[in-house]
Amino acid sequence: MTDASKDQGSGADGRVGVVIVAAGRGARAGQADGPKQYQRIGGRAVIAHTLERFLSHPKVGPVVVAIHADDRELFDRAAGAIAGRVLAVTGGSSRQASVRLGLLALRDQAPTKVLVHDAVRPFVDAGLIDRTIEAIGGRQGALPALPIADTLKRGSADGMIEETVSRAGLHAAQTPQGFPFWPLLAAHEKAHHLGKTDFTDDAAIAEWAHIPVKIVTGSPDNVKLTWARDIAMADQRLSSALPRFPDIRTGNGYDVHAFEAGDHVTLCGIAIPYDRKLSGHSDADVGLHALTDALLATCGAGDIGTHFPPSDPQWKGVASKIFVEHAAKLVRERGGRIANADVTLICEAPRVGPHREAMTAALSSMLGIAPERISIKATTNEKLGFVGRGEGIAAIATASVVYPGEVPA
409 pLDDT above the threshold of 60:
no
Position 33 scores a pLDDT of 61
Residue 304 known to bind ligand: yes
Domain spanning 247-403, CATH class: alpha beta
- 381 among annotated binding-site residues: yes
Q: Are 112 and 14 in contact (CB under 8 A)?
A: yes
> Which one, of 123, 144, 133, lies nearest residue 53 by Cα?
123
Q: Where are the domains of the chain?
A: 16-149+163-240, 247-403
Angle between the N-to-C axes of helices 72-79 and 46-55, in degrees from 0 to 180, rounded to the nearest 10 = 60
Q: What is the pLDDT of residue 57?
A: 94
Task: Give the mean pLDDT of the chain.
Answer: 90
- On whether 306 is known to bind a ligand per the annotation, the reply is no
The answer to whether 386 is a known ligand-binding residue is yes
What pLDDT does 24 receive?
87
Q: What mean pLDDT comes out for the span 1-12?
A: 38
Say how far residue 210 (Cα) sits from the centre of its chain: 45
Collapsing DSSP to helix, strand or coil, 147 comes out as strand
Residue pair 178/15 in contact (Cβ under 8 Å)? The answer is: no
398 annotated binding-site participant: no
What is the predicted pLDDT for the residue at 242? 62
pLDDT band at 1 (very low <50, low <70, confident <90, very high): very low
Q: What is the pLDDT of residue 29?
A: 46
- Segment 50-63, tens digit of pLDDT: 999 999 999 999 99
Residue 264, marked binder: no
257 is in an annotated binding site: yes
The terminus-to-terminus CA distance of the chain in angstroms comes to 29
CATH of domain 16-149+163-240: 3.90.550.10
pLDDT tens digits along 176-235: 999 999 999 999 999 999 999 999 999 999 999 999 999 999 999 999 999 989 999 998
Is 77 assigned a ligand-binding role in the annotation? Answer: no
Residues ≥6 apart with Cβ < 8 Å to 32: 39
Task: Answer yes or no: is 188 a known binding residue.
Answer: no
* Axis crossing angle, helix 286-297 with helix 321-333, rounded to the nearest 10: 10
Specify the pLDDT at position 34. 74
pLDDT tens digit string along 314-351?
888 899 999 999 999 999 988 899 999 999 999 999 99
Taking the C-alpha atoms of residue 173 and residue 10, their distance in angstroms, rounded to an integer, is: 27
Does 331 carry a binding-site annotation? no
222 is in an annotated binding site: no
Annotated binding-site residue? 85: no
User: Is residue 308 over pLDDT 70?
Assistant: yes
Does this model's pTM top 0.75? My answer is: no
Does 281 appear as a known binding residue?
Answer: yes
